Every structure is written in structure tokens, then in C-alpha cells.
A and B are shown apart, each in its own frame.
Chain A
């Protein structure tokens, strides 16, 4: 909001320089920057008192100890307006409504001083009568409205909610529904939206000779609803919403009369109706010294506090416990002791506060297992060479549909774009979007992970997502990039499982439907399916490749994983429990079986382990071979057996006997042969 320096200065005996004004205002909490011949001020919602020139001058006067010079007002008698009726019975909607009638007025162009004032704050000049109401708003912060009295039939003004079917064309020429909006009405129809904007049907124009000036107080909530429902932003609305000063309404009326009669001495003041359904009064507030000190952590000198309270019109009286104050009407937001404390420290300055650490108090020292687990997990995943991403929580609906055909995503009611339409139910779609964007920019060979909330209604489980794209051209000097990224993702998950001791985790079929059957596994926690990993389902890849999705072909060496991490809450934190070290050496035996490709590694492993081999400590897979050296349809699996006896060294004979039995059994079961 722009305010003019010279205008502000006109209310002060000795105005500080513009730079000092800006500094002082910033110190009192009005965010002020110098701009042109004035200031641009940003207001927090609790400061309607300063949304005008006099209010800002008042603020400066308190802060800098200056004397405030209130502007001259009409000092004469104001008779009662006998033949006009102002009617409302709803004190909650309109606690006070003042109507002043002045006849023999002319809506002539405004005098230069008035035009200059309005121009200084980028306001357009219309005519004297309208300009004066606008001037008052920018001088005192009071919205007022000028009606052409001749356009109000029956000398009746009412305040009520608009009825079904009623409409109103506002001063800006727009037609609005008036039903349910708080309106100023004549006997038949709305003539203004209360506290928001006047109607065309009662507007002051060049033919106006009789004027009714409205100065009222309306319910801020109703004003807000009218403005919001009809999308009207007006200076009046913004002030009523924040609250207006009930105490000086008559001053504002007299100020208007003073200015009008000065410019048009021939104008005739007819009279005033003051319908005051709820006279304004404020309770005294007790400001306790002990409370002041306890909140601030310092003890301000009594004289300083008393002086500040006096300067801010709070009329302090000393009491046994501190002060009793009467807060002025313009401090709309100051209604409690704590509010008064804020006003005191606001003017005393935060620089007076000490800078000390709080005493050590009890706290909940048990760390949240989910947050702690995720913290360690993130570090571990980065240590495994993966890069963390940070993606939005919402996404285009087409991405949700591509992955999940069942259930409904949570819908955002007011998204800013279709990419914010629904809340994610999986981490992967937005992570794959990242991958797609990187591919478009020519980056390949990406390993990404992210941990975040997904939104399934009610709970918000934390999910881990993994995306691993292997560039087919990637080759290190020591190892060609031949392995499918599936094995890499699986390795990462196996590493996590081992690192965190997730003994209840298993990888098996079936996998979630968005993964390609035969190229993926489900992640299970006990019996519960908590995620999956592998290759994306071909149908998903097709949908993601479309123009309305990523427009990128994901038929590339790609594997993904997604897993609900809720189990971190109840997974026991792995605790090492040391076993005594063995005293006798282990004996190692390698054995490669050539068998039909149909048999999986796990089949053979399970068979060998199922045999309950004596002294077998560990069984490893050390080699997988398929190729020219073998018959078509065959593969070789190389196993490494580790045997150990707890109390002595095993003999070669013992080992040979055991190995013979293994070989026999595998030959028999799988038709395997020994590869030499």
C-alpha cells in the first residue's frame, strides 16, 4: 500500500526525514520501503490502524516521541435527522450506522489540494463528494459512502441480508447476486453491499444535490463473505475485514463536514441519524508487572512502561500489581493483557531483550523409530551410490491411472495445473518423471531414491522409491554393463535387509500389478505385501510414454522398487549379539552343476540346504555361466560350500563323503552333471 510522505508529515510537528520514517516504521513492525515521494508499506492483518496516513503518523509519534497534530473538524451543532429512518435489528451485523444528510451540494471537480493528495497515492479523482469519502479513508482509515439522497425513495435506509433473486449492480458496473449478502437497502431493493461497494442505483453523479453520507460498522465476517462470494476487492472491504475504530466515528463525520463546508459554504447540513445498537466500550485491561517480566525475560523500567502506555493512548493507572489500561479504539487487535505486552515491547524495541538459552527442561528422549530409521536409510542409500530426489506430492491423474487401476486417489480441489490434480499414492510416478526429464536433457545412467509420504486416505504411509536406469553404453574399465538393473535393485534391497536386520522381509511372487510378471518380485513383511521391485509392466510403460504423460519411451534398461516403510515402526532395531569365534578352520569346496535352465538358483539352493548337510556353515553362489561351452538350454551354477566342525578339524575323507552325497542328490533331482 502506497502512502505519501508529505501527507504523513502534515500530522506531525517535526517530521523525521523520509529515510528515518522508513527505519522507524520498520522497527515498529510496518514493513516499509521508500518509493517515490512516499512509502510502500506491507501490512500484517492485525494493523488496520495503520492503513492510513493519520494512523502511520500516530505510530511515528509514539515511536519517536513526536507531537501529533490532529486535523481540524466541524465544531458546530449537528441536528437530528427527523424525517429519515435507518432500520436494522441485527446488532451483530451492524452495531452502528450513522447517516448524515447534507443538501445543496454539487458534485463538482475537486480542488487542487484534494486532487494532489489522491494522486500522490495513485487514486483517481471523480468529484468532490466522492473524493472526500476516499480522502477520509486514506486519512483516518474509515470507509464511508456517499449516496445521492434523491435516489433513495421513502427516506428509508435499511441493513439486511439480500433475498433470493435480488441483484445489485455495483459502482464498477458489474452485476452481482445479492442473495445472502449483507446489503444496504431502501424499502424495495439493495442499494449497496454493506462495507464492500455501493450500488449504481444510488450513486452520486453530476446532478446530485442532496447527499447522505454513510459511516457505519459492519460485521467483518459478512463483509468478507460478500467480497469473497462476489469477488470484489475494495479498500472498504479490506478495512472492515480487519476491523475499524468505533471510537472516532463522530470525529470522522465532523472532519467530512469541515472539509465539505469549507469547499462548499453554501451546502446545508440537514442532520444526522446515529443508529447505535451496540455502543462501543472496552473493558480495562490489567497489565501485571510479573506477567510482563515473565513473558519477556527482562524487567523494563516502570517509568518507561508508563511512558510508552501513555504515548500509545492507553491511559495507564498504576495498581498494586502493575497497571490498569484503557486501550484506544483504533488498536482493534489489542484486547488482552498479552496484546498490551506486545504493544509495550514493540515500542520499547526487541533490542532490549536479552539473548539467553532456555534452562534445560525435560523432553521426550525416545526417538521416533520411523524418522530415525529413515535418516539412517537415506545415508545408507546415498552411500550405495544412489542420488536422492525431492518431487512434488501431487501429480497428473493420468500418472495415477497408469499405475493403479483400483481405488481412487485423493483429489486436490483447487490445483494450479493438471500436474497437481491428485495426491500421489506411489512415489514412482513423479520419480520416473524426473528420470524422463533427465533423459530428455541427455543424462543417462541414473540411480535415484526418495522417501516421502503417500496419500491413501486416513494414514499417510512413508514410502521408499528406487529408480535405476543403466545406460547400455555404460561400461567401466573393469566390468562391462551386462547385468540387468533388476539385479542391481535387488542387490540394494538385499543390502538394506542385511544392514538393518529386517529378518521378516522376503522377496517373492506375486508382485504388485504395475510390475511386469516374470521380471519382478513382491516385497513382503511377514505375510503382508508391502511393495515390489523389478521391471515396470509393459502396459504402464506404454501409458507413461504417451504425450499426456512423459512423452518418453521407458523401454530402456530400467528397474524400479517401491516399498511401504511403515514396518520401521515395529521392526526391532537389529542388535548385535556376539557369538564366540570358532577355533577350528572351515573347509571350502567348490562344485559347479550343469543343469537345465528351467531350474532356478533358488530351487537348487533349497534342495541342497534341504538335505541337511552335516557341518555345512555357509553356501554361496560364486558363478553362473551360460554359453558356448555348454549344450543349448543348459547353464552352470557354481556353488561354494563352507564346512566346519565346532570341536575339531574336519578330515578330507569326511568332506569327500559329504560332497559325494550332495552331487548324487543334485544329479538325481535335476538331472545335473558336474562341470569340470
Chain B
């Protein structure tokens, strides 16, 4: 090897030209051995020649040879196809990952939690009560005595018991009575829970869930009720949702109102809102003084509002569920759809 004619630029040029011809891993390997092979590679031979080069040229040549070696190594490393090419790769990156199954919550729970979370953020306490109730908590304390025709509407399930006093609660309002018996105003609370009515069709289930809200204190007004429900409706059904109150009747509130929300699906009438652009969503009112008297509050001193809403109805609207019975069939193909979101 004659180093006197060796030139870095030319050598690199010629190496690059050779790489252009190399394609397969084998060709590259051959190239690597030709240049970098330990025994008889070009680099080895150049370095051997360097030892015999004139002393004054050694520093420059040494430096250039080093640059040449580094560059050749770099190019081969970068461009030489991996040894594994054509063989099985170490990882099949497309395989599904090793993960636990995707579980999910029931849409009734999802809806209930979304609603509860909202009220908890508004400073409400959460309470629960028994589902087998007495006449007193389900009706009498709620201003609905035995002969009241409102009891016909309730379609109540009764329990076989000697006292003839037990029933499956038709509303979660009984929890409010229990709460008032054990707490003093001011307070704000919600009572989510399971209720029962003898009714079974595409919009009624014999078992369903309700959430009731109760706010009691000095100076609580109907306008506070309206504001609270407006905030709630916007939270659940989306920004821009408006509410409308219509006079109604509940034994335990006076005045009472039904609340409609603007249809979340349309602006000019659709099947869900029966062309009205409004959807009835809950009942509410100012707590009847008789209810306060039943729990020992002074209705001259405190006022309060209460509302009750069906969880399934909200879930059906929110998720476009066509038949309430879907919620209780627990068909996996239905439930699997709630694993997102």
C-alpha cells in the first residue's frame, strides 16, 4: 500500500461509489470486510503502511486515516441492512398488548355518578336510605295520607308483613325525611337510589333509579331552585341547554313545577321531543310547610326546595337508548358500548 498517493477525498469518493452498488446484507458484509476486515481489510493495510511513511507526513496522514475509518464505519453502520432482515424480527410490534380486559360501569351508574359529582362540587351532601320503606316515610311524611288519590298514581309494590306497613319505596323522597330528622338547616343534599313501581314497558321499568335534591335554609327561594336546575341541565345536557318550568302538583311541594329542557338532539323538533323542542325531565318545587312540620322545622323560619329526577330517563336521553329494558337485560353487547367515555 502506497500512502504517498493516498488521498482522503478520493478514498471516500471511491468508498461511496462502492456503497451505491451494495444492496443486500451480504453485499454490505463483503464491503465491510473489504474495508474494515481485521486481517486483510483496507484499513488494516493502510495502518500498516502508515508505520513506514515518512515521519513528517505521519501526523496528517494519521488524522486523515482516522477520519476515513470513522466515516466508513458510520456509513456501514447506518446503511447496512440489519442481520435480522429477512429473518423473524425480535418483536412483532403489531401484536395486541398484554393488558387486563377492559371493564366498565353500567350506564345507570355512569349517569348517577356524573350527576352526583356535579352536586358534590356544588357542596351537596350525599345520603342513602332503605329501599323497603314504611308508609310513613314514603307517603305520610310527604303529605300524602292514606286516602289521597296521589297514591293511585304511585303503583306501589307492597311487602307481605303483619304490620301491613311496608312497601318498596316509590320515590327517594323518604331519604329526605330521614335526613331532615337527623340534620338541622342550613344544608343541601342529594339522595340517589333505587325505587320501584308496578309498571313495565319501553319507558317504564319496575325497578329504576332516582335522584332527589333538597336544599333548606333561611332565605332559600324558588329563584334559587330555578338557578340550580339551570346549572344542572347545562352540566348534564351540554352548554346552551335551557330549562322551562310548568306548574304541576306534588303532594310534598308547593308551588310545584315540571321542568323541561331544550331538546339536546334538535332545534326545530324531532322524534325524541315529539316535535316540541322541549323534553320533560324532572319535577320540583318549594318544600310544603306540612313536610317541614312533620320533621319539626319551623316553616316560618326556613324555606327550601326539592327536586326529583329519573336516572334512567337521563341515561336514555344522554346515550340515545331506545328501550328502558336494555338497561336491565345486561346484554354484554349493550354493556360493551359503555366502556368508552
Query: A343: shortest Cβ distance to chain B, in Å?
Result: 9
Quick one: which of B127-148 are within 8 Å of A by CB? 127-128, 130-132, 146-148
Q: Any chain A CB within 8 A of the CB of B64?
A: no
A265 to B228, CA, bound (A): 63
A342, A391, A460, most chain B CB atoms within 10 A:
A342
Give chain B nearest CB distance to A537 CB in angstroms.
Answer: 24
Known contacts A297-B221, A392-B207, A411-B160; is-contact A365 B255 (Cβ 8 Å) = no
Question: B194 in the interface, Cβ–Cβ < 8 Å?
Answer: yes
Q: For residue A420, which residues in chain B have a CB less than 8 angstroms away from its CB?
A: 157, 206
Task: Mark out the residues of chain A between 193 and 249 whose CB falls within 8 Å of any chain B CB in the assembled complex.
Answer: 220-221, 224-225, 238, 241-242
Instruction: Give chain B residues whose Cβ lies under 8 Å from the Cβ of A566.
Output: none
Given contacts A45-B149, A411-B160, contact A446 B223 (CB under 8 A): no
- Give 1 or 0 for each of B104-120: 1 = CB within 8 Å of chain A CB: 11101100010000000
Chain B contact residues (Cβ within 8 angstroms of A): what range?
Answer: 35 or more
What 1/0 mask marks residues of chain B from 211 to 230 whose CB sits below 8 Å from any chain A CB?
Answer: 00001010111111011101
Interface residue A578 (Cβ < 8 Å from any Cβ of B): no
A338 proximity list for chain B (CB < 8 A): 254-255, 286, 288-289
Contacts of A585 in B (CB 8 A): none
Which residues 386-405 in A have Cβ within 8 Å of B in the complex?
386-394
Contact in complex: B227, A357 (CB < 8 Å): yes
The yes or no answer to A304 lying at the interface (CB within 8 A) is: no
Name B's interface SS: mixed
Q: Size of chain A's interface in residues, with CB distance under 8 A?
A: 89
With A371-B126, A391-B328, A412-B157 known as contacts, the answer to whether A295 contacts B149 (CB < 8 A) is no
Q: Which of B190-212 contact A (CB under 8 A)?
A: 194, 196, 198, 200, 206-207
A455 contacts B by Cβ under 8 Å? yes
Contact across chains for B227 and A355 when beta carbons are under 8 A apart: yes
- Chain B residue nearest in CB terms to A370: B128
Which B residues touch A388, using CB under 8 A? 103-106, 109, 335
- Scan residues 81-107 of chain B and give those whose CB is less than 8 A from a CB of chain A: 95-96, 98, 100-106
Q: How far is the CB of B250 from chain A (nearest CB, A)?
A: 8
Q: Which of B146, B157, B223, B254 contacts A355 (CB 8 A)?
A: B223
Tell which of A46, A296, A437, A478 touches B222, judged by Cβ atoms closer than 8 Å.
Answer: A296
Whether B206 pairs with A356 at a CB distance below 8 angstroms is no
Contact in complex: B125, A412 (CB < 8 Å): no
Asked if A345 meets B222 with Cβ closer than 8 Å, knowing A242-B149, A393-B196, the reply is yes
Q: Are A437 and B331 in contact (CB under 8 A)?
A: yes
Q: How many angstroms from the CA of A382 to the CA of B246 in the assembled complex?
A: 40
Chain B residues contacting A391 (CB-CB under 8 Å) are 328, 330
CB pair A358 B149 closer than 8 Å: no
Contact A368 B255 (CB under 8 A): no
Kindly identify which residue among A339, A371, A446 contacts B254, using a CB–CB cutoff of 8 Å: A339
Binds A, one of B11-19, B22-30, B35-43, B180-188: B180-188
Interface membership of A367, Cβ < 8 A = yes
| Given the contacts A350-B245, A358-B224, A342 and B330 also touching, CB distance less than 8 Å | no
Among candidates A351, A354, A382, A438, residue contacting B103 with C-beta atoms closer than 8 Å = A382
Q: Which residue of B lies closest to A411 (CB)?
A: B160
Check A669 for interface membership: any CB of B closer than 8 A: no
The contact of A361 among B217, B221, B227, by CB within 8 Å, is B217
**For the complex, what is the distance from the CA of A346 to the CA of B254, rounded to whole Å?**
11
Report if B265 contacts A (CB, 8 A).
Answer: no
A423 touches B132 (CB 8 A): yes
Contacts of B126 in A (CB 8 A): 367-368, 371
Stretch from A25-33, A131-139, A626-634 contacting the other chain: A25-33
> Given contacts A367-B126, A391-B328, is CB(A455)–CB(B157) below 8 Å?
no
Q: Does B158 sit at the interface, judged by CB under 8 A? A: yes
Q: Is A508 an interface residue (CB 8 A)?
A: no
- B206 x A363 contact (CB < 8 A): no
Q: Provided the pairs A353-B222, A363-B125 are in contact, do residues A389 and B227 lie with their beta carbons within 8 angstroms? A: no
Check B249 for interface membership: any CB of A closer than 8 A. yes
Is A317 located at the chain interface by the 8 A CB criterion?
no
In the complex, the answer to whether B206 meets A361 with C-beta atoms within 8 Å is no
A367, closest chain B residue (CB): B126
A29 to B258, CA, bound (A): 9
Question: Which chain B residues border A651 with CB–CB below 8 Å?
Answer: none
- CB contacts (< 8 Å) of B160 on chain A: these are 410-413
> A357 with B150: in contact, given A44-B248, A342-B254, A368-B128 (CB under 8 Å)?
no
* Nearest CB on B from A441, distance (A): 7
Report yes or no: A295 in contact with B187, Cβ–Cβ below 8 A: no
Contact A357 B158 (CB under 8 A): no
| In-complex Cβ contact of B333 among A368, A434, A443 (8 A) | A443
The answer to whether A410 and B289 have CB atoms under 8 Å apart is no
B103 touches A386 (CB 8 A): yes
Q: Closest approach, in angstroms, between the C-beta of A516 and any C-beta of chain B? A: 25
Neighbour of B186 across the interface among A26, A47, A362, A394, CB < 8 A:
A362
Query: What is the distance, in angstroms, from A223's C-beta to the closest C-beta of chain B?
Result: 9
A384 to B327, CA, bound (A): 22
Q: In the complex the two chains form, is A414's CB within 8 Å of B104's CB?
A: no
What residues of B have a CB within 8 angstroms of the CB of A368 in the complex? 126-128
Q: Is the CB of B104 within 8 A of A363?
A: no
Let me know if A341 is at the binding interface, CB within 8 A.
Answer: yes
Given contacts A295-B303, A338-B288, A358-B217, contact A453 B125 (CB under 8 A): no
Q: A350-B257, A362-B186, A420-B206 are in contact. Are A383 and B103 (CB under 8 A)?
A: yes
Task: Assess whether A153 is interfacial by the CB under 8 Å rule.
Answer: no
- What residue of chain B has the Cβ atom nearest to residue A381's Cβ? B103
**Min distance, Cβ B110 to any Cβ of chain A, angstroms:** 9
Q: Does B231 reach chain A (CB closer than 8 Å)?
A: yes
Instruction: State whether the Cβ of A579 lies closer than 8 Å to any Cβ in chain B.
Output: no
Alpha-carbon distance between A359 and B148 when the two chains are bound, in angstroms:
36
Tell me which of A338, A371, A410, A416 has the highest count of chain B C-beta atoms within 10 A of its own C-beta: A338
Q: Does B256 reach chain A (CB closer than 8 Å)?
A: yes
Within 8 Å CB of A351, what residues of B?
244-245
Asked if residues A453 and B188 are in contact (CB atoms below 8 Å), the reply is: no
The docked-state distance in angstroms from the alpha carbon of A387 to that of B245 is 38
A353-B286 Cα distance, complex, nearest whole Å: 13
Residues of A within 8 A of B168 (CB): 393, 412
Interface check B237, CB cutoff 8 A: no
Known contacts A385-B103, A438-B332, A452-B194, A45 near B249 by CB under 8 Å: yes
Is A162 close to B, CB under 8 A? no
> Which residues does chain B contribute within 8 Å of A450, judged by CB atoms?
106
Query: Closest residue of chain A to B126, judged by CB?
Result: A371
Are the C-beta atoms of A393 and B207 separated by less than 8 Å?
Answer: yes
Cα A44 to Cα B245 in complex, Å, equals: 16
Extra contacts besides A350-B246, A477-B96 (10): CB < 8 Å? A361-B186, A361-B188, A361-B217, A363-B125, A368-B126, A392-B328, A393-B194, A414-B158, A437-B330, A438-B331
3 closest A-B pairs by CB:
A297-B221, A29-B247, A297-B223
> What are 19 A-B contacts defined by CB distance under 8 Å?
A45-B249, A221-B147, A297-B222, A345-B247, A350-B244, A350-B246, A355-B223, A363-B123, A364-B187, A384-B103, A385-B101, A387-B332, A388-B103, A388-B104, A388-B106, A392-B206, A393-B194, A413-B157, A413-B158
Interface residues, chain B, with chain A CB atoms under 8 Å away = 95-96, 98, 100-106, 108-109, 113, 122-128, 130-132, 146-150, 153, 157-161, 168, 183, 185-189, 194, 196, 198, 200, 206-207, 215, 217, 219-224, 226-228, 230-231, 244-249, 254-257, 286, 288-289, 303, 327-333, 335-336
